[in-house]
Amino acid sequence: MENKVIECVPNFSEGRDPGIIKQITDVIESVDGIKLLDVDPGKDTNRTVVTFVGSPESVSEAAFLAVRKASEVIDMSKHYGEHPRMGATDVCPLVPVSGITMEETVVYARKLAERIGTELGIPVYCYENAAFEEKRRNLANCRKGEYEGLKLKLEDPEWKPDFGPAVFNSRSGATAVGARDFLVAFNVNLNTTSVRRANAIAYDVRENGRPKREGDQLTGRILKDKNGDPVMIPGSLKSVKAIGWYIQEYGVAQISMNLTNISVTPVHVAFDEVCRKADERGLRVTGSELVGLIPLKAMLDAGRYFLRKQQRSTGVADEELIKIAVKSLGLNDISIFKPEEKIIEFVMTGKGKKKLIELDLKAFMNETASESPAPGGGSVSAYMGALGMALGTMVANLSSHKKGWDDRWEEFSAWAEKGKIIQNELLALVDEDTEAFNRIMEAAGLPKRTEEEKSARINAIQTATKHATLIPFKVMETAFSGYEVISAMVEIGNPNSITDAAVGALAIRSCIKGAWLNVRINASGISDRIFVDDTLKKVGELLSKSDEKESEIIKIVEMKFNKKE
């Protein structure tokens, strides 16, 4: 069963005193099971965005301790900064990451909000998916008036806090606790210091847009609806909040955006739209800045987007896609963008034991040659398959960029993408095979003093061995799907690289045959004969099909050689 993991991204109203910030992050890290992913302070905004992940229970505890510590070390009556805010802990959203639904996350958010209000005496508003009423879904509504207007707001029955006293807390202000989808805080840099011009672009792009005016849209009277609310002209980007501001630290004006749903408006779309709107106003975008973390998929999607604009193949390594995204978005404009510190999946990986696929070629070879039984034939088979697919992908990329074939770049880019997916799956299986073997060894090391322990040990070994049998079977299936790409590249790819594709086919066949041997050896230790017979039948059929496919590909290559001769 998948573990439940949520993320918490509290924003604290202190960005200048490292000592205060560390006191808050120390209590977060004091909770077992918590991984602190990022701490991003801003001097001009006087605000720090902290990101951490863990189980719902551990995250809820760490968030409460952080809010309590912030209420002790931050005095809002003395706070000033560029960013809107209403409390020492201004916002505290919970974000479902894996194994948990938004509905479940809402329950945890409301429990956290109740605890903050009850135990700390801080007024709390629940926003986004945790909101109890529609008007409180929008954080901007909850924070309207900011800290300076909070005393008057709390006197309004319509803005009675969801939890905590409706009493002004001069030291801690109020806190908004929410449950939301993954939000990307993304700032775009301009070649101007004008906040007014930056705001004009922000109004152009943000979903809420700008107020409609009578006559002149700059100076005319703001039109209002029957409820007295301004009539708005929507902006061009959905699920985007934006304002313009000047950052003295950088000496530039920025469009500060919250992309509240990057499946609706991805980072690269927001960036390009700001570029267009800036150009219309005689300004130029110089780069951008990510505040906090970003999912790997968002960076890969951006890399593919910019490669497509160049009419280049998108079937390249993830590292290359990230590099293209960073360059195209100008993420190095203000400070060096470090993927290992800014991409959430990379940060979560941490500094544990290095994976096999992270070793260089020589180190992998030496590890294989060592007296350790793993990595063994299974991992090496998976790696051979990955190399075979890499050759097929290479031919697709070369074909996409071949002179005179410009009108076919998308065709070959699609083949390269397909090859890259299979290649990555096989790479992951390199480590999975070794991990499966290690699970057998762990099961074998279980105690066997009593009959009960012996029975549990035997069951654990059988379960681990079944798993270790299915991994090479998965290697076979994954590698076999690669023949489609190899066949296409032999038939229609760059003719100068036909032998590269053919070598890829040989590597895939070796991968499949090696994995087949591993299935057989692991299956010999399984007592469940139905499982064994069914598995061996399937792998035998797959092996025969693999031999046929490889033979077909080699025949095509030989036929093309004969035509040349």
- As given in the structure block, the two tokens for residue 354 are 């290095």
Overall average pLDDT of the 102-107 stretch: 95
Question: Residue 92 in contact with residue 10, Cβ under 8 Å?
Answer: yes
Q: What's the confidence (pLDDT) of residue 217?
A: 67
* CA–CA distance, 151 with 399 (Å, rounded to integer): 67
Q: Percentage of the chain surpassing pLDDT 90?
A: 78
What's the one-letter identity of residue 259?
A: L
Q: Could you tell me which CATH class the domain 5-179 is placed in?
A: alpha beta
Q: Indicate where the chain has its CATH 3.30.70.670 domain(s).
A: 184-349
Q: What's the confidence (pLDDT) of residue 358?
A: 81
pLDDT tens column, 424-463:
999 999 999 988 998 999 999 999 999 999 999 999 999 9
* CA–CA distance, 438 with 444 (Å, rounded to integer): 10
- Which string of DSSP letters, residue by residue, matches 102-117? HHHHHHHHHHHHHHHH
pLDDT band at 249 (very low <50, low <70, confident <90, very high): confident
Closest CA to 191 of 251, 245, 257, 249: 251
The interaxial angle of helices 498-523 and 529-564, nearest 10 deg, is 160
Q: In three state form, how does the secondary structure of 347-395 look?
A: HHHCCCCCCHHHCCHHHHHHHHHCCCCCCCHHHHHHHHHHHHHHHHHHH
Q: What's the confidence (pLDDT) of residue 133?
A: 94
CATH architecture of 356-564: Up-down Bundle (1.20)
Q: What's the confidence (pLDDT) of residue 354?
A: 64
Overall average pLDDT of the 48-55 stretch: 92
Overall average pLDDT of the 44-64 stretch: 93
User: Across-strand partners of 98?
Assistant: 5
* CA–CA distance, 92 with 115 (Å, rounded to integer): 13
What secondary structure letter does DSSP report for 147?
A: G
Q: What's the confidence (pLDDT) of residue 550?
A: 95
Q: Indicate where the chain has its CATH 3.30.990.10 domain(s).
A: 5-179
Place of tokens 């960005």: 15
Overall average pLDDT of the 555-561 stretch: 90
Overall average pLDDT of the 245-268 stretch: 92
Q: Does domain 184-349 have CATH number 3.90.550.10?
A: no
Question: Residue 82 in contact with residue 253, Cβ under 8 Å?
Answer: no
- As given in the structure block, the two tokens for residue 377 are 């034939």
Q: Is 229 a catalytic residue?
A: no
Place of tokens 């598995």: 535
Q: In three state form, how does the secondary structure of 406-441 look?
A: HHHHHHHHHHHHHHHHHHHHHHHHHHHHHHHHHHHH
Q: What's the confidence (pLDDT) of residue 1?
A: 41
Overall average pLDDT of the 161-174 stretch: 95
pLDDT tens column, 32-42:
989 898 899 98
Of residues 162, 204, 433, 500, which has the active-site annotation?
A: 433
pLDDT tens column, 72-95:
999 999 998 888 899 999 999 999
What's the one-letter identity of residue 498?
A: I
Q: Residue 375: is the preceding peptide bond cis (ω within 30°)?
A: yes
User: E strands of 153-199, at which residues?
Assistant: 175-179, 184-190
* CA–CA distance, 297 with 263 (Å, rounded to integer): 10
Overall average pLDDT of the 306-319 stretch: 94
Which ranges in 262-331 belong to alpha helices (H)? 267-280, 296-309, 318-329
Q: Which helix H or strand E contains 50, and what residues bound it?
A: strand 47-54
pLDDT band at 170 (very low <50, low <70, confident <90, very high): very high
Q: Indicate where the chain has its CATH 1.20.120.680 domain(s).
A: 356-564
**Residues near 195 by beta carbon (within 8 Å), at least 6 away in sequence:** 244, 245, 246, 253
Q: What's the confidence (pLDDT) of residue 301?
A: 95
Cα angle: 551, vertex 383, 511; to 5 degrees: 30
Closest CA to 217 of 229, 198, 230: 230
Of residues 40, 83, 90, 162, which has the active-site annotation?
A: 83
Closest CA to 479 of 382, 403, 391: 382
Q: What's the confidence (pLDDT) of residue 352?
A: 44
pLDDT tens column, 359-394:
888 988 888 898 878 788 999 999 999 999 999 999
Residue 47 in this model has a pLDDT that exceeds 70? yes
- Which string of DSSP letters, residue by residue, matches 488-531? HHHHHS-GGGHHHHHHHHHHHHHHHHHHHHHHHHHHTT---HHH
* Arithmetic mean of pLDDT over the chain: 92
Q: Is 83 a catalytic residue?
A: yes
Residue 351 in this model has a pLDDT that exceeds 60? no
* CA–CA distance, 369 with 59 (Å, rounded to integer): 43
Question: Residue 172 in contact with residue 102, Cβ under 8 Å?
Answer: no
Place of tokens 């993927």: 339
Which ranges in 44-193 belong to alpha helices (H)? 56-73, 102-120, 139-143, 150-154
pLDDT band at 156 (very low <50, low <70, confident <90, very high): very high
Q: Phi, psi (5° rounding) for residue 404? A: 90, -10
